[in-house]
Amino acid sequence: MNVSKFIQGTALAVALAFAGGASAQVKIALDSPPDMEGSGSYVWANTFSTYLNEHGMPAEEFQRGALGGDDELFDQVSQGLLEVSLSPLNIVGSLDPLIYGLRLPYFFADQAEVDHALYEGKMLERINEATTKEGVRVLSLNTVGQATGIFNTQKPVKSVADMAGLRMRALDESQIELYKAWGAAGTIVSWAEVPNALQTGVAHGYLNPAFVPLLFGHTDFIKFYTDAAIAPSLRITIVSEDWYQGLSDADRATVDAAADAANKANRKWLETQDAVLGKLEAAGVTVERLDQTARDAFRAASAPAYESGLLSAEQIAEWEAAKGK
């Protein structure tokens, strides 16, 4: 037997034995600063942990990075070593690309339509058909702000033509292809390296909801924002499937109820985010609000994202049907 695999397996067995105990602490890995006003992710996580603690399941939040990066957290969850992690969508896209339907540009009208597809349309169940086989359950989709817009350090972007000459931070190859369709370039940069990349010119900007530079302190070098409303701003909460299925019926019901309370608090928080554009402007960021003609041009230019091969035509059709329109 491979020694490293034996050690890893032993550690996993010990962790799961402790996780099965009634008093075992639920570890929650955060993905943002603990800011109840500025972070929708933290609103979700804090509501979830508070509910668990108040209902007899001890839970503790761990600061972003304290337990590792996104890939390490994913591995820990899949092995049963970590119970809960707030993570990016693409972390489970490696198991099944179906979740990437949530990143299709200009596909969803608003968060209500997203929620309809996930819950009434059963797409969250469909996503979990693949992920739970690999030890990971997507417990929820969490909004982190208004639909994504375009931040950059170089110039105002008032139309898709203005993207020419910009080199944008990308999450993955599919986002690079979207930038190319808009006439820009892309480069994959980890979130931890983004401030340095923006200040040195390795990247000129990124796609994110409006609150991000305020929350992470980027307004010293991010100077332009385009409210392009490209796609819903979402993160996911993943949990260990071994841990979840190993809970008693009562504890599993408590976890589900905690997630429901956290979802409601998270969506309520979203209703407060209309004021963020004003906060950006107060911080010295120039905000461009696209008119319908410019928005339509971005939508038309985004068409190659639907033909990239990341999602099959059948999967896109599933999402379309799940929207209920």
pLDDT digits (tens, 9 = 90+) for 77-128: 999 999 999 999 989 998 999 999 999 999 998 999 999 999 999 999 999 9
Overall fold of domain 149-231+274-322: D-Maltodextrin-Binding Protein; domain 2 (3.40.190)
Angle of CA points 209, 143, 97, to nearest 5° = 95
Question: Which helix (H) or strand (E) element contains residue 151?
Answer: strand 149-152
Q: Which amino acid is at 210?
A: A
CA 34 – CA 122 distance, rounded (Å): 31
DSSP state of 175: H
CATH architecture of the domain with range 3-144+234-272:
3-Layer(aba) Sandwich (3.40)
- The predicted pLDDT at position 325 comes to 62
Same fold, 3-144+234-272 and 149-231+274-322: yes
pTM: 0.82
Going by their DSSP bridges, the two strands 149-152 and 224-227 should be labelled as antiparallel
Helix, coil or strand: residue 60:
strand
- The predicted pLDDT at position 279 comes to 93
Ranges of residues in the chain whose predicted pLDDT is under 70: 1-23, 325
- The predicted pLDDT at position 277 comes to 93
Domain ranges of the chain: 3-144+234-272, 149-231+274-322
